[in-house]
Amino acid sequence: MKKKFLLGKNNSYFVDIKEFHTKDGIIKEKDLKKARIGKKVKTHLGKEFFVVKPYIIDFLNYAKRLQQVILPKDAALILSYTGIGPNCNVIDVGCGSAWLTIFLAYYVKPGKVYAYEIDKRALKVAKENIKNSGLKNIVLKEKDARKGLDEKEVDMVTIDIKDATKVIKHAYHSLKIGGWLVVYSPYVEQVIEVRKEIGKFEFSYIKTVENIVREWQMKLTLRPKNVGLMHTGFLTFARRVK
């Protein structure tokens, strides 16, 4: 990442090394150039920001997006339910803007993530986001996964496309025994189709979950916030056992 991450009390910014204009004021280019990790910079309005090393979630919060991405609550659930980690190899079908691709690549390195996408607009954004992430373990492919997957003996295949059922057969043959299939479905009808297709192959430990996150407000009274990040989609997990 060639940009610097500025963390303030109420706002944060990913900035290029040039004069930066924000609602919190202006930061001069010379101040950004000499600012190092852990050092403080001020805007012309006196607002303070610290230059800090960004975590992967900081980068993704500012990454470009086209269509809806698999959000942190669901991406993290994929990791926790499967145990995927360093040295694992993953196929991400329908990578879109590469949000999940980058998230997974960060945690599996030096393992690789092979990202499949056919939408040219999405590919352009994905390529830019991957470059800006600085990660070198992502292979972006302009290829229709419904016609087959190139990689074999992978640890996990994630699918987030409308025709997910057309990829499950290919995913099964690409997975190593013990590997995980994860399908993201925005609506129940697709879950039913996916579960039916999964049943045609030697998968076990099959489950479909919905992850609901509800934030609480702490001012004046203690109670759940009126608006929360509730339903985003369904995650169906299955493990190749033969």
Q: Show me where the domains of the chain are located.
A: 4-54, 58-240
Q: How confident is the model over 72-78, as a mean pLDDT? A: 95
pLDDT tens, 81-124? 999 999 999 999 999 999 999 999 999 999 999 999 999 999 99
Whether 89 and 70 have beta carbons less than 8 Å apart is answered as: no
- The pLDDT value given to residue 192: 98
Task: Report the share of the chain in percent with pLDDT over 90.
Answer: 65
CB–CB of 125/97 below 8 Å? yes
- Name the band, by pLDDT with cuts 50, 70 and 90, for residue 10: confident
Entry pTM: 0.89
Q: What is the pLDDT of residues 209-233, one digit of tens each?
A: 999 888 888 888 898 887 766 788 9
Question: What spatial distance separates the first Cα and last Cα of the chain, rounded to whole Å?
Answer: 41
Is residue 133's pLDDT more than 70?
yes
Residue predicted with more confidence, 40 or 191: 191
Separation of alpha carbons 185 and 157, rounded Å: 14
Residue 235: the pLDDT is 98
**Does domain 58-240 correspond to CATH entry 3.40.50.150?**
yes
Query: Which tokens sit at 12?
Result: 């944060």
Q: Are 58 and 12 spatial neighbours (Cβ–Cβ below 8 Å)?
A: yes
Q: Cis before residue 110, ω within 30 degrees of 0?
A: yes
| Burial of 147: CB neighbours in 10 Å, binned 0-12, 13-18, 19+ | exposed
pLDDT of residue 228: 67
* CA–CA separation, 206 and 172 (whole Å): 14
- Count of C-beta atoms within a 10 Å radius of residue 156: 28
Compute the chain's Rg from CA coordinates. 20
Burial 207-229 (b: 16+ CB within 10 A, else e): ebeebeeeeeeeeeeeeeeeeee
DSSP state of 59: H
Proportion of the chain above pLDDT 70, given as a percent: 98
Record the tokens describing residue 228, joined without a space. 């929360």
Instruction: Write down the CATH number for the domain with range 4-54.
Output: 3.10.330.20
Per-residue pLDDT at 1: 54
- Nearest CA-CA partner of 92 in 126, 61, 50, 136: 126
Instruction: Tell me the pLDDT of the chain averaged across its residues.
Output: 92
Token output for 8: 């303030």
Band (189; pLDDT cuts 50, 70, 90): very high
